[in-house]
């Protein structure tokens, strides 16, 4: 997306120097605006805050790539409800 000129929001819940380095590298390599926003995608309020900050940074959110997830392996009939909710 950056190669096609899209501004980019990078998100993770870890908030490490590597997170910011990736964000900066995207901006430098592709000449787009980038912003890093820390948010835990398992917390609805943080998801809403991330979208609000993205819109505030760039005026709107045009494309969303949902690439967040956790893994729990179990047969569906044994899958814990709290894992589905997470």
Find the CATH number of the domain harbouring 31. 3.40.50.720
Count other Cβ atoms within 10 Å, centred on residue 22: 16
The pLDDT assigned to 67 comes to 81
Give me 19's structure tokens: 């997170």
| The two three-digit tokens of residue 20, written as one number | 């910011």
Per-residue pLDDT of the chain (86 residues; tens, 9 = 90+): 999 999 999 999 889 999 999 999 999 999 999 999 999 988 899 999 999 999 999 999 899 888 877 788 899 889 998 888 77
Q: Give how many domains the chain has, as a whole number.
A: 1
Neighbour-count burial of 60, counting CB atoms closer than 10 A to its CB (0-12 exposed, 13-18 middle, 19+ buried)? exposed
Q: Residue 63: which domain range?
A: 2-85
pTM, 2 dp: 0.77
Q: Tokens 């980019």 sit at which residue?
A: 8
């Amino acid at each position: 997306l950056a190669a096609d000129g899209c501004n980019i929001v990078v998100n993770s819940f870890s908030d490490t120097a590597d997170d910011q380095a990736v964000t900066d590298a995207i901006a430098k390599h592709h000449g787009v605006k980038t912003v890093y926003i820390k948010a835990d995608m398992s917390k609805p309020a943080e998801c809403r805050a991330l979208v609000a900050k993205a819109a505030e940074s760039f005026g709107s959110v045009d494309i969303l790539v949902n690439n967040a997830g956790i893994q729990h392996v179990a047969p569906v009939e044994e899958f814990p409800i709290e894992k589905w909710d997470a």
